[in-house]
Amino acid sequence: MSDEKPITVQILESDYRVACPADEKDALLTAAQYLNDTMLGIRDTGKVLGSERIAVMAALNISYELLNTRRQAAQVENALRQRAEELLQQLDAVLNVQQ
């Protein structure tokens, strides 16, 4: 038996029923709200007309945000890895002096 439950999300004033695991409901609702807010923001500028075009622009904006966040996370990870290596070298140097 599946633990997926149907939930209703509203995106650009339309309701969509989607199934999701019970333990992921809050995350899905948050994602749907973020998408809805993004699409409403695009629509409200008046520069993009039509639900399909608004959806494509929202997808493009969210994809850009995701890729930018991944790039930033990779930079932080590299900086942390480099710092950890520096600290290990310093620790090795201190331990070698004490021997």
- Any residues with CB less than 8 A from the CB of 43 and at least 6 apart, and which? 12, 54
Distance CA 32, CA 17 (A): 11
Q: What is the pLDDT of residues 59-71, one digit of tens each?
A: 999 999 999 999 9
Per-residue b/e over 34-46, b at no fewer than 16 CB within 10 Å?
ebbebbeebbeee
Q: What is the pLDDT of residues 12-37, one digit of tens each?
A: 999 999 999 999 999 999 999 999 99
Reported as a pLDDT band with limits 50, 70 and 90, residue 1 is very low
Whether this prediction's pTM lies above 0.85 is answered by: no
What is the CATH superfamily name and number for domain 4-98? Cell division protein ZapA protomer, N-terminal domain (3.30.160.880)
Distance CA 55, CA 42 (A): 9
